[in-house]
Amino acid sequence: MRTRFAISFMGVIALGLICAGCHSTRRGEPITGPVPIPSEKVAHGQQVFFKNCHQCHPGGEAGLGPALNNKPAPVFLMKTQVRLGLGAMPGFSEAQISPQELDDLMEYVMQVRKADRGKRS
């Protein structure tokens, strides 16, 4: 009986150590450096992003929501998703994000993607 308990206890300890070694130390740590801001549209898009999107997609990385910087979705599809929402993501009306702000937001998201691709090369 004691041997069985000891073996079970050691198994639990071993499983705990394996699980502890498997997690990523990069969680929450940005993979890319600062995103270049080449224009006023991108700068404004960054402001819109930080106001509305950053809470769930920090820096374009995965957080509460999925990463945005590695998704090949076209701009029209991303705009539709912003307006209608999807799953846990809420939709944002034109009163919340104007059409101009949405265009600038897409410019910023595309800039984040370019910066991410540049770091992976």
Domain of 65: which CATH number?
Answer: 1.10.760.10
Overall domain count for the chain: 1
Domain range holding 45? 40-120
Residue 35 domain-assigned (yes or no)? no
- In tens, the pLDDT along 25-38 reads 344 444 456 788 89
Whether 70 shows a pLDDT value over 90: the answer reads no
Q: How far is CA 121 from CA 5, 47, 88, in A?
A: 51, 28, 32
Q: Considering only CA atoms, which of 23, 102, 114 is closest in space to residue 60?
A: 114
Per the domain annotation, does 51 fall within a domain? yes
pLDDT at res. 46: 95
Q: What is the pLDDT of residues 101-117, one digit of tens each?
A: 999 999 999 998 887 66
0.75 exceeded by the pTM?
A: no
Look at the chain and count its residues.
Answer: 121
Q: With contact defined as beta carbons under 8 Å apart, do 52 and 92 qualify?
A: yes
Q: Which amino acid is at 63?
A: G
Least confident interval from 16-25, 52-61, 84-93: 16-25
Residue 34 lies in a domain: no
Is 7 inside any structural domain?
no
Answer yes or no: is 3 within a domain.
Answer: no
